[in-house]
Amino acid sequence: MTGASVPSFARAHRFPVRVYWEDTDAGGIVYHAGHVRFFERGRTEMLRAHGISQSATADRSLAEAVLFTVRRLEVDYLKPAALDDLLIVETAVREIGGARLLLDQRLTRGDDVVATAAVTVVMIGGNGRPMRIPMELRALFEAIR
């Protein structure tokens, strides 16, 4: 991954995922898009662990809806993962901007790092345009950073 800073996972949220048949390719290893799904689950569960339900924020009236959407995703695939592996998705907040969050993620199997990701998510309103992250969410992200 590009970037000058080295990710810190000391305060990362951790979420286990098991590799199923549906996650693998013809060669028996996790298909590259499977890693993206695992990273998405990790981000969603990090929010849920801190009381933020994506469905609750999206179920508001269209004018009040707020969502996080991926603006940029960079993945480095380092080692293969295979059927029945138990993986841990680690998600850490690196930077909090006006409307965006920079997150570092990694997928581990025991002591092995299987893949890493740098993700930029942007908060958008019901009109589909970026909006500032509300202060209560900003405070939460600062606390877990």
Whether residue 25 lies in the annotated active site: yes
The number of CA neighbours under 13 Å toward the Cβ of 4 is 1
Sign for the CA dihedral angle at 56, 62, 68, 69 comes to positive
Buried b (16+ CB within 10 A) or exposed e, 6-32: ebeeeebbebebebeeebbeeeebbee
- Tokens coding 79: 């080692």
Q: Which of 25, 59, 84, 112 is catalytic?
A: 25
d(CA 89, CA 98): 26
The catalytic site residues sit at 25
